[in-house]
Amino acid sequence: MNPGVSTSRDDESPEAKARWYQSLPLSRRLDVWTEMIELLLAANPDLPRTKDVQHTSASVRVLEIE
């Protein structure tokens, strides 16, 4: 991925964002994830107490650790 600045709408697609995120080292991915959670909680502090949340029985499986 080119690290330069782009004004292309193609670089804003979900696929392009996923490629960017996957290109980050694991430690930086965790930092970005934490920053996003903090942003969401700052915008909506009651988010953890939302009553519309539906629990799922799905599990998470780690396939590879870098």
- pLDDT tens by residue, 26-58: 999 999 999 999 998 998 888 888 777 676 677
> Would residue 1 count as lying in a domain?
no
> Would residue 57 count as lying in a domain?
no
Both tokens assigned to 6: 């782009």
pLDDT of residue 28: 94
pLDDT of residue 7: 74
Evaluated on CA atoms 8, 12, 18, 20, the torsion sign reads positive
pLDDT of residue 51: 75
> Would residue 33 count as lying in a domain?
yes
Rounded to the nearest 10°, the torsion over CA 37, 40, 41, 47 is -110
Please give the model's pTM, rounded to 2 decimal places.
0.54
Domain that holds residue 19: 11-47
Closest CA to 33 of 12, 24, 64: 24
> Would residue 4 count as lying in a domain?
no
> Would residue 65 count as lying in a domain?
no
Cα separation, 41 vs 31, whole angstroms: 15
Number of domain units in the chain: 1
| Residue 15 contacts residue 23 (beta carbons within 8 Å) | no
